Amino acid sequence: MDRTFIPRVIDPAAIVEMDDGVIVRIGDTLHTFNSTGCEIIELFDGARTIGDIIEVMVARYPDDDQVAPAVEAFFDELENLNMLNRSE
Amino acid sequence: MRRYLGIGDNIAVLEWNDSRLGGFMPYLFRPWEIDQPGDTDVAVFRADMNGAGIRLDLPGKTVACPDERMAALELEYALTMYAQAQLDDHVQVHGACFGTESGCVLIVGTHGIGKTTLALSAISQGLYALSDDICPFDHDMRHLLGFPRPFKVAVDILAMNPCPVPVDCPSFYATADITYVFTHEPPGKYCADRLPLRHILFPNRRPGPVAFEQMGQTEAMQLLLTQGFNYVDRDSLDLARTLLGVLIQAPPLRFGYGDSFEAADAIRDLLT
């Protein structure tokens, strides 16, 4: 996982927020994310790298030593689904 | 013999020339029957019985059927497709829908999980059927409309003891997998035209007592899109936005049950 990768901002018009997650339209497909995934996606601002995002999440949940691997796994999943678009 | 059906903004006419077709022709989509319209275009569904079998003249095609059973299958399919197309401006969910005067539930689940059996069990317990398989929302997205397609019941359901099919509903045997049960007959007894949606239920068949469990919107939305809609619609963000409003006003519940009659009883209590 290239932690210098900067994920592109997701168009708010492509998002439907729910009480415990979010649906995102990427390409022709809808993808569903739980509240943690939603929190990570909200950090896509076109400037933060994956490494920055991991640091933010770790800082939010300092008592949870699984945060960093979980966030990395999330990005791996996005990459496997061809959903990671680099910011211009 | 002739009947007119008002479906959406359009009209279909069913015509048949032989009383031997009376086992199904008079019952097909009867709740939608209207008086003879004035001078207006109608879609014609005609069955002519002759020495060689039954000739069906349907919109866009002609079908030769060897017997009444094949004719019933072809006619029901053609009418259902026509009706769905006329209601194309309504959101239509794959599921089963039934309820009481106070409201209805929409059962959404995979093929074979028992939606039809549950709906029939509910009818035999005194609840109203709206539809099985095709459940159209009204334009307000708060009510579900009756879609009076006959229930397609397999022989294993008919063989259940007790059988969930009401004895006074007309039926027509087509194949081992399909006996048409006209749950909208007698008129008004087992069916309703329109009811407010109170809950969306996602069934989980397992032994034991009936249990309802709250669900989050994310899981419910995912199941609703994948199990309630086709491959095209399930990737529609506009549909997801519309359905979110439905999930807010009709809370989704996970619904575990073993016996369909007990389940129907529990659903009636849920709607009280």
Is the Cβ–Cβ distance between B14 and B6 less than 8 Å?
no
Structure tokens at B163: 């059988």
Of B122, B101, B108, B98, residue with least CA distance to B200: B108
Assembly ipTM: 0.80
Please list every residue in chain B whose beta carbon sits closer than 8 Å to the beta carbon of residue A25. 235, 237
Only one residue has tokens 């969930």, namely B164
Answer yes or no: do B217 and A19 touch at CB < 8 A.
Answer: yes
Question: Which pLDDT belongs to residue B52?
Answer: 86
Please list every residue in chain A whose beta carbon sits closer than 8 Å to the beta carbon of residue B244. 16, 18
Answer yes or no: do A22 and B218 touch at CB < 8 A.
Answer: yes
Q: Any residues with CB less than 8 A from the CB of B253 and at least 6 apart, and which? A: B199, B200, B201, B202, B212, B213, B214, B215
Q: Which amino acid is at B23?
A: G
What backbone torsions phi and psi does residue B46 show, to the nearest 5 degrees?
A: -120, 135
Answer yes or no: do A32 and B221 touch at CB < 8 A.
Answer: yes
Question: Which pLDDT belongs to residue A88?
Answer: 57
Chain A to chain B Cβ contacts (< 8 Å): 41
Between CA B163 and CA B177 the distance in angstroms is 16
Residue of B217, B234, B236 lying closest to A18 (CB–CB): B217
B151: which strand partners?
B181
Please list every residue in chain A whose beta carbon sits closer than 8 Å to the beta carbon of residue B225. 30
Answer yes or no: do B235 and A20 touch at CB < 8 A.
Answer: no
Question: Which pLDDT belongs to residue A26?
Answer: 82
Please list every residue in chain A whose beta carbon sits closer than 8 Å to the beta carbon of residue B247. 18
Question: Which pLDDT belongs to residue B39?
Answer: 73
Residue of B225, B244, B247 lying closest to A30 (CB–CB): B225
Distances A47 to A7, A13, A54, B150 between C-alpha atoms, Å: 8, 20, 14, 58
| A79/chain B closest Cα distance in angstroms | 20
Answer yes or no: do A30 and B216 touch at CB < 8 A.
Answer: no
B99: which strand partners?
B104, B128
Please list every residue in chain B whose beta carbon sits closer than 8 Å to the beta carbon of residue A29. 235
For chain A, residues with pLDDT lower than 50 are none
DSSP for chain A, please give it.
--TT--BPPPPGGGEEEETTEEEEEETTEEEEEEHHHHHHHTT--SS--HHHHHHHHHHH-TT-TTHHHHHHHHHHHHHHTT---B--
Between CA B74 and CA B66 the distance in angstroms is 11
A34: which strand partners?
A21
Answer yes or no: do B235 and A14 touch at CB < 8 A.
Answer: no
Tell me, yes or no, if B244 comes closer than 8 A to chain A by beta carbon.
yes
Please list every residue in chain A whose beta carbon sits closer than 8 Å to the beta carbon of residue B221. 18, 23, 32
Between CA B198 and CA B160 the distance in angstroms is 29
Structure tokens at B79: 């009418």
Question: Which pLDDT belongs to residue A87?
Answer: 63
Answer yes or no: do B217 and A32 touch at CB < 8 A.
Answer: no
Answer yes or no: do B237 and A25 touch at CB < 8 A.
Answer: yes
Would strands B143-145 and B194-205 be described as parallel, antiparallel, or unpaired? antiparallel
Residue of A19, A23, A28 lying closest to B216 (CB–CB): A19
For chain B, residues with pLDDT lower than 70 are none
Tell me, yes or no, if B216 comes closer than 8 A to chain A by beta carbon.
yes
Q: Is A30 exposed, middle or buried (0-12, 13-18, 19+ CB in 10 A)?
A: buried
**Could you report the per-residue pLDDT of B34-45, keeping only the tens digit for each?**
998 877 789 999
